[in-house]
Amino acid sequence: MSIDGSKLTIVGAGAVGTSAAHWAVSRKVAKEIVLLDVVEGIPQGKALDISQSAPLCGYHGSVIGTCNYKDTAGSDVVIVTAGLARKPGMSRDDLLAKNVEIVKQVTENIVANSPDAVIIVVTNPIDAMVYTVFKVSGFPKNRVVGMAGVLDSARYRTFLAQALGVAPKDVTALVMGIHGDNMLPLTRLASVGGVPVEELLSKEELAKIVKRTQTGGGEIVQHLKTGSAFTTPGLCAIEMAQAILFDEKRVLPCAAYLEGEFDINGVFLGVPVVLGKEGVERIVQFSLTQEERLALEKSVEAVKRQVDATGL
């Protein structure tokens, strides 16, 4: 797949942003990769380090570190990771007020310099931050999307694979809803090599895996003490960016704006979508059981509380 002329910007040169830049070079997703941060020297140094991996991974583009949004002009995709990270004992909701202001400023600069970009939001709490970007940018709903379900589903697939003793890539599983404790890891649709996991694991085993998936981010925070997950979140953002830049029509679970899909209106929520050059090209709908629908309603209620707290 050609990457000629494509431009990817990553806003925020913290752990997740740096991880995303690393994966972007490794996967050769864009001809020009820009890493931006407000702290002088940080994006420049990290971009220089990452660019020096080019001979080893076969990347032929450029990696630029900057504090100036003018260097991001004309980006096809912008990944927003800027914001405060979670600390032990801190919920995603605790981050909301502080990160709303950061994300508002970032969005205004993106719009001024890359008015045709697709924006992928990674900053937590994602479901509220992607709504913030949507409202501030004025972009159509297809060009604003949140990274959550790709990460949550990756964790879910990992835990299922470990329990089954199989290759993680052979596990298919979907997580819907909010990126938080009320997310919905669907057991009914999870399978390994086409075989439903409900026929391979007990209800008790599956319940434990579902719970661990729902608290997967917090588990990592507790171990790290001074940070949160970064390697896989960075890769998940690039998985989405690649689907858009290469027009892959990938079906991935993302936070998309719902207007009647799954009987939900006016919020961004994790659902399976088709990602291509236009961003969210469509939402993949299917029938939910009554239990699943009730669980999803809890996600909607939690997201609406977050959205109300943004004041937008």
The predicted-structure confidence for 4-57, as pLDDT tens digits, reads as follows: 679 999 999 999 999 999 999 999 999 999 999 999 999 999 999 999 999 999
Q: List, as one string, the DSSP characters of 256-311.
A: EEEESGGG-EEEEEEEEEEEETTEEEEE------HHHHHHHHHHHHHHHHHHHHHT
Classify residue 142 by its DSSP letter: G
Could you tell me the domains of the chain? 7-146 (3.40.50.720), 149-310 (3.90.110.10)
Active site residue 179: yes
CB atoms within 10 A of CB 114: 20
Query: pLDDT (tens digit, 9 = 90+) per residue, 144-184?
Result: 999 989 999 999 999 999 999 999 999 999 999 999 889 99
Q: pLDDT exceeding 70 applies to what percent of the chain?
A: 97
Query: pLDDT (tens digit, 9 = 90+) per residue, 240-299?
Result: 999 999 999 999 999 999 999 999 999 999 999 999 999 999 999 999 999 999 999 999
Assign 222 a pLDDT band (cuts: 50, 70, 90).
very high
Residue 106, C-beta contacts closer than 8 angstroms, at least 6 positions apart:
11, 80, 82
* Contact indicator for 15, 232 with CB cutoff of 8 Å: no
Token pair 């809803």: residue: 177
Classify residue 177 by its DSSP letter: B
**Alpha carbon 173 to its chain's center:** 16
Token pair 């927003």: residue: 80
pTM comes to 0.95
* Nearest-angstrom CA–CA distance, 222 and 232: 17
Token pair 């707290």: residue: 309
Q: Which residues of 57-78 are buried (b: 16+ CB within 10 A; e: fewer)?
A: eebebebbbbeebebbeebbbb
